[in-house]
Structure 1
Amino acid sequence: MGRLECNFLTWLREERRSRKLILFIVFVALLLDNMLLTVVVPIIPSYLYNLDESAAMVIKNTTPSQQQVPPLAFDSIVSLYDNTVKSSGINVTVRSTEPVPPAPTVSELPQNASDCALSPRNLLNENVKVGLLFASKATVQLITNPFIGPLTNRVGYQLPIFVGFCIMFCSTIMFAFSTSYTLLFLARSLQGVGSSCSSVAGMGLLASVYTDDEERGQAIGIALGGLALGVLVGPPFGSVMYEFVGKTAPFLFLALLALFDGALQLFVLQPTKVEAESQKGTPLLTLMKDPYILIAAGALCFGNMAIAMLEPTLPIWMMETMCARKWQLGVAFLPASVSYLIGTYIFGKLAHKIGRWLCAVIGMVLVGMSVICIPFARSIYGLILPNFGVGFAIGMVDSSMMPIMGYLVDLRHVSVYGSVYAIADVAFCMGFALGPSIGGSIAENIGFAWLMTIIGIVDIIYAPLCFFLRSPPGQEEKIAILMDTNCSMKTRSYSTQGTYYQGEDMEPEYDDYD
């Protein structure tokens, strides 16, 4: 056993500078972040509804006035969210001094009993609370990103990504044991700080070790596969675990996953070593004034805003109109998650060949058309096709725009990537900050169908702007360098002891492990 462990450690030392191992670390970091992001989607609306209804029942039972008790009629129905009884019959009035008849169990009800929640109006009131809680993560991440980007230029990418792991672990533990809206809100906000560190530093690290544009696109596509996988397994995993095990179990599992990734980062990336960039990057404000970077960032923002609006509002709409059970609230997102995984994998390789701008145009139009079709569903099966279209289209946009951000920096600015991926993450976070907060209010006031129509039209209108990314102008000397670099990189082999190349002379870099 000792020899096996020694061989494993030796292999890790040899592979420490391997680009594939670094890609795996970023993959796991994005997987953890997005599992934690989406595992709460089916849990929080139902959990908060339970908290509010429990508090209301306590207040109601402590008042000395008369109480309305549901009769044990045949047309009574039970809510699986709070185990209370709802009836369309005439309520029975009893004095507070009289014993309250016990509520019937599920087995005592008719077989056609509905799973509808107690009050549709109460569900509508949950939209705003759930939306604000979901948006808190993206809002904090939005504020943090402008500081993380320039920080990576000073201290390197290794330390910020490890700090992100530590914060993410604390947030996961808080989610597991929080029993109030305030603590859940704090846990979600803390996750935003950790996510900012992990995503900005992770993408910048990949862009720095994959210097060829085509290989960078493939690597970022694989890394986004971690994001897609987290989005894929998060909602169904959370809904199933919540219904059959409880709220704490899924978060404890994610905490173990965080510990694994943290241990791998500690040994491979050596975050205690500060490695600043060899050249000074373009200032963040200068990059934010670049119109082509802003167009790419806008596509990321509005494309992801569609799914961000769905996360807090779709479960509540399903509970109201379809009488959906807990496990169905997460499973409804499964088609979107699967198609996002497929889209990022396919277009991570294909977008470079057919044109990333064209993938973005088609993706934005498809997102808009798909979300407009969602309110026409009358059952969970009717959500399969439009949700599949939403996920696949967003996968097209993300796998096209994230590599373009690095390419635009290479083409028009200094090839230091922390700040530009901070902008990309800001755009991503704006979608997930504005989406839930605005979406919850719109759904409450004018309805879920109008919400989907509005965001769908916005995506379709924005799509033609991506045409400007077809052939962005760049500095002549930068274009010549990029062409020479891409040609030379294709003729080189990366198999030399698993090392990656960096620097102007493109020589292999080794570490002294003695």
Structure 2
Amino acid sequence: MTRCSPCQCLKGTCESRRLILFVIAVAMFVDCILFSVVAPIAPALLYDTEYGKGNTTITIHDSDFSSVILSNLSIFENSTKALYNDQMVNSTASGGNQTECYEGKDYLNEVNVRVGLLLAIKAILQILINPIVGKLINRTGYDAPLFYGSIIMFISTIMFAFADSYAFLCVARGLQGIGSSFTIVPAMGMLAHLFPDDAERGKVMGLAMSGIATGVLVGPPFGSAMYEFVGKSSPFMVIAALALLYGALQLCILRPMKFSPVAVPATPFRDLLMDPYILVAAVGLCIGNLTFGMLEPTLTIRMMEAMCAPRYQLGLAFLPCMVVYFICLNGFASLAQKIGRYLCILFGMIILGISVICMPLALNIYGLIGPSAALGIGFGLMETSIMPLMAQLVDLRHTSNYGGIYAISDIALCIGYALGPSCGGAIAKAVGFKWLMIILGIINIAFAPLFILVRNPPGKEETKPLLSQEGIQAS
């Protein structure tokens, strides 16, 4: 393929748009793998650094449930059994099978809130930074903010690797949120700008979101396995290396050192926020991510508390969700063109609601496979349709400047992820995991029919004649 100049690429006049699509997909992957690595190992990390400083373990023999023996880890009996060097409960069945359970369930219940706050810090910082990034794009173009995002992401990842306290983890998580703002908003805006055709834009955004799906798919099992078998710093050092390679890729393909202001005037944020059709889409996006944000930390805690799941399983609970999401991603983009994006989002929210209601029925990790897979279908239907819908609404009803609309989209997403982890832990502690899931399911199912309103929204051209006629009648 003949390489074009960067100027030609940004104008979308050559096939090098595919290279930019690849860069954006890599950007999504790096951002999402860091995001998804932190969530499943955060409870275990706090458990090991705070509660796990003691040296006791509990051994329970299933042949005699009343026999509970406390022993010190510094004593090894008969040198034939090596006790784990952390606080676990070892259950030995008569057949010799051994399962693990965590001591200190009161601590696990209390840490729900702290883990939720840690995960929510990223979204809170994104909410604050997104409007700034949206305005920065109007002055510098899309390339420079995207490159700044890779630098911030690298610094955040290194901080995670060497964090040794809750406060340091919070700082790293907040910096990650700033890096995500400088990644998601310009990335989605650049795609909408480069691919103005609505049908092509939907397919391209589906391909770009394959990076999101891959990152979220790989992140939890990768982070859990590396944490368990290699060490806490290992997953973050690998992601830091990926961030460096991604930054180098941007230098080769994009123009991060040259500012190219967006020629199309931006629609004021207030006008976008007051648009009822954009508001419905943004609230739906917020509810969907609120659901996932509440489920992510609370399900991990439930697995530790009720299922006695070992650490490597903590990241596997969402694996069926992400596998299904990844497989169906591009198919859902084509489906949306045939039946309408509003229907895909509507069905997606209903399926999402049903799946979370079924989550408490699982007694072990195998029972989570069905609800988790349904969760992937729901998110796939919803999120692959709602991002192109945002750009379509701006083209139809405002000006084709995409910094503002994707700043609003990311704010809606981040509100869900900010309220989700921070409130989810507290609600789970107050009413229990089961009722939390029922509440979330009802909210999703009840809001879904509102997307019928965006079936055929009027364009700005359709409103102008009406306004002119009203002016004539008034005169």
Q: TM-score, normalised by structure 2?
A: 0.89
Number of the residue aligned with 1:102: 75
Seen in structure 2, the aligned counterparts of structure 1 residues 331 and 166 have a Cα distance that, compared at 3 Å, is same
Match status 1:89 vs 2:62:
no
Q: Which residue of 1 aligns with 2:228?
A: 243
Structure 1 CA distance for aligned equivalents of residues 441 and 158 of structure 2: 36
The alpha-carbon deviation at position 53 of structure 1 amounts to: 1.4
- CA shift, 1:153, in A, is 1.3
Change (3 A) 1:357 1:72: closer
Offset at 1:119?
1.8
SS in structure 1 at match of 2:246: helix
Number of residue pairs matched? 446
Using the alignment, how far apart are the partners of 1:100 and 1:248 within structure 2? 25
Of residues 236, 249, 259 in structure 2, which corresponds to 1:264?
A: 249
Alpha-carbon shift at residue 342 of structure 1 (Å): 2.6
- Structure 1 unaligned segments of length 5 or more: list them: 1-7, 59-68, 78-85, 93-98, 480-514
1:410 and 1:478 in contact (8 A); partners too = no
Cα deviation per residue 1:105-138 (whole Å; 9 max; x = unaligned)?
8547743443110122211111011110011101
Structure 2 counterpart SS, 1:114: strand
**1:31 correspondence with 2:29:** yes
- Equivalent residues in 2 for 1:216-235, closer than 5 Å: 216-235=201-220
Residue of structure 1 in register with 2:471 after alignment: none
Q: Alpha carbons of 1:71 and 1:131: their partners in 2 closer, same or farther (altered >3 Å)?
A: closer
The letter for the 2-side match of 1:427 is: A
Corresponding residue for 2:383? 398
Shift of 1:279: 2.3
Equivalent in the alignment of 2:292: 307
Identity of aligned residues (%): 50
Of 471, 476, 481, the residue aligned with 2:456 is: 471
Cα gap change, 1:278 to 1:11, in 2 (>3 Å): closer
* Residues 336 and 71 (structure 1), Cα distance of their counterparts in 2 relative to 1, 3 Å cut: closer
Q: Which of residues 378, 382, 385 is equivalent to 2:367?
A: 382
CA contact (8 A) 1:222 1:348 kept: no
Evaluate the alpha carbon distance shift between residue 335 and residue 72 of structure 1 in structure 2; reply closer, same or farther with a 3 A threshold: closer
Residue type of the partner of 2:194?
V
Residue of 121, 125, 139 corresponding to 1:140: 125
- How far does residue 91 in structure 1 lie from its aligned partner after superposition? 6.2
Q: Is the 8 A contact 1:12 1:268 kept in 2?
A: no
Matches within 5 A, 1:294-333: 294-333=279-318
* Contact kept? 2:36, 2:219, Cα under 8 Å: yes
SS in 2 for 1:43: helix
In 1, the alpha carbon distance for the partners of 2:429 and 2:180 equals: 29
1:151 to 136, 158, 161: 136
| Equivalent in the alignment of 2:268 | 283
Name the residue aligned to 1:40.
Answer: 38
Q: Letter of the aligned partner of 1:237 in structure 2?
A: F
3-state SS of paired residue (1:272) = coil
Which one of 105, 108, 117 corresponds to residue 123 of structure 1? 108
Choose from 428, 442, 466 the match for 1:443: 428
2:59 and 2:70 in contact (8 A); partners too: no
The one-letter amino acid paired with 2:452 is F
CA deviations on 1:151-182 (whole Å, 9 max, x unpaired) are 11121101110111110000011111111111
1:348 to partner: Cα distance: 1.7
Secondary structure of the residue aligned to 2:186 is helix
> Which one-letter code corresponds to 1:445 in the other structure?
A
Q: Which amino acid aligns with 1:411?
A: L
Residues of 2 paired with 1:436 and 1:276: CA distance?
37
Choose the corresponding residue for 1:204, options 189, 195, 215: 189
2: CA distance between counterparts of 1:73 and 1:227?
42
Q: Which residue of 1 aligns with 2:467?
A: none
Q: CA deviation at 1:238?
A: 0.6
- Partners of 2:355 and 2:60 in 1: how far apart? 42
- Measured in 2, the distance between the counterparts of 1:470 and 1:202 equals 26
Structure 1 residue aligned with 2:351: 366
User: Would the aligned equivalents of 2:76 and 2:82 in 1 still touch at CA under 8 Å?
Assistant: no
Preserved contact between residue 344 and residue 398 of structure 1 (Cα < 8 Å): no
Opposite residue 412 of structure 1, the aligned amino acid is: R
Higher-Rg structure is 1
Q: Determine if contact 2:57/2:73 at 8 Å carries over to the other structure.
A: no
User: Following the alignment from structure 1 to structure 2, what is the Cα–Cα distance between the partners of residues 74 and 318?
Assistant: 21
AA at the equivalent of 2:302: W
Residues 59-70 of structure 1: pairs in structure 2 closer than 5 A: none
2 CA distance for matches of 1:70 and 1:161? 48
What is aligned with 2:172? Answer: 187
Cα RMSD of the aligned pairs, angstroms, is 2.5
The 8 Å contact of residues 343 and 393 in structure 1, kept in 2 or not, is answered as: no
Preserved contact between residue 371 and residue 452 of structure 1 (Cα < 8 Å): yes
Matched residues in 2 for 1:233 and 1:74: separation?
A: 36
Matches within 5 A, 1:348-359: 348-359=333-344
Report how far residue 150 of structure 1 moved: 1.8
Structure 2 unmatched ranges of 5 or more = 11-15, 84-89, 465-475
Alignment-derived partner of residue 411 in structure 2: 426
Q: Please name the residue that 2:148 is paired with.
A: 163
CA distance in 2 between partners of 1:354 and 1:269 (Å): 36
* Letter matched to residue 23 of structure 1: L
Whole-angstrom CA distance in 1 between matches of 2:246 and 2:97: 47
What letter corresponds to residue 246 of structure 2 in structure 1? D
- Normalization by structure 1: what TM-score? 0.82
- Contact 1:43/1:247, CA 8 A, preserved across alignment: no
Query: Residues of 1 paired with 2:74 and 2:156: CA distance?
Result: 42
Asked if the contact 2:59/2:69 (under 8 Å) is kept, the reply is no
- CA–CA distance in structure 2, aligned partners of residues 33 and 159 of structure 1: 17
| Closer, same or farther: CA 28–90 of 1 in aligned 2, 3 Å | closer
Counterpart CA distance in 2 for 1:197 and 1:71 is: 47
After superposition, the Cα gap between the structure-2 partners of 1:266 and 1:76, relative to the gap in structure 1 and judged at 3 Å, is farther
For the residue of structure 2 that corresponds to 1:331, the secondary structure is coil
SS at match of 2:117: helix
Look up the equivalent residue of 1:304 and give its one-letter code: N
Kindly indicate whether the alpha-carbon contact (under 8 Å) linking 1:411 and 1:478 is maintained by their aligned counterparts in 2: no
1:49 aligned residue (42, 47, 50) = 47
Partner-residue secondary structure (3-state), 1:115: strand
Residue 277 (structure 1) shift: 1.1
Q: Could you tell me which residue of structure 2 aligns to residue 504 of structure 1? A: none
Does the 8 A contact of 2:289 with 2:416 survive in 1?
Answer: yes
CA deviations over 1:77-105 (Å, ceiling 9, x no partner): 9xxxxxxxx9953769xxxxxx9972668
